[in-house]
Structure 1
Amino acid sequence: MKPLTALLVVLAAAGLWYADRVLNDGAAIVFLGKQLIRITTWLAFWR
């Protein structure tokens, strides 16, 4: 995995955690976040 891609994944995870805390509506955000991270990781892996 490229360093930039790894950084983006970490930032996305941190942003999702923050949004989950602030909005206090965990289920949908966590689900979307997991899908986003899965897609990003898949794209990074296949490049």
Structure 2
Amino acid sequence: MTNQIALALGALILIGLCGDWLMNDLSATLFLSRKLTDMIEWMAFWR
């Protein structure tokens, strides 16, 4: 991964977080983080 690609992906993530904060009060980010923790626990169970 080049620096340009990493910066572009980082910028897209920040834009998405800012957009979620402005439009949804971070509800989508909270939902995705809860689902991610559930998936991590589920994967640890099958390990």
Relative to the length of structure 1, the TM-score reads 0.51
Calculate the aligned-residue CA RMSD, in Å.
1.7
Q: Which runs of 5+ in 2 are unaligned?
A: 33-47
Count, aligned residues: 28
Distance 2:6 2:15 in 1: 14
Q: Which runs of 5+ in 1 are unaligned?
A: 31-47
Q: How many percent identity over aligned positions?
A: 18
**Bigger relative contact order (CA 8 A; separation at least 6):** 1
Structure of larger gyration radius: 2
Relative to the length of structure 2, the TM-score reads 0.51
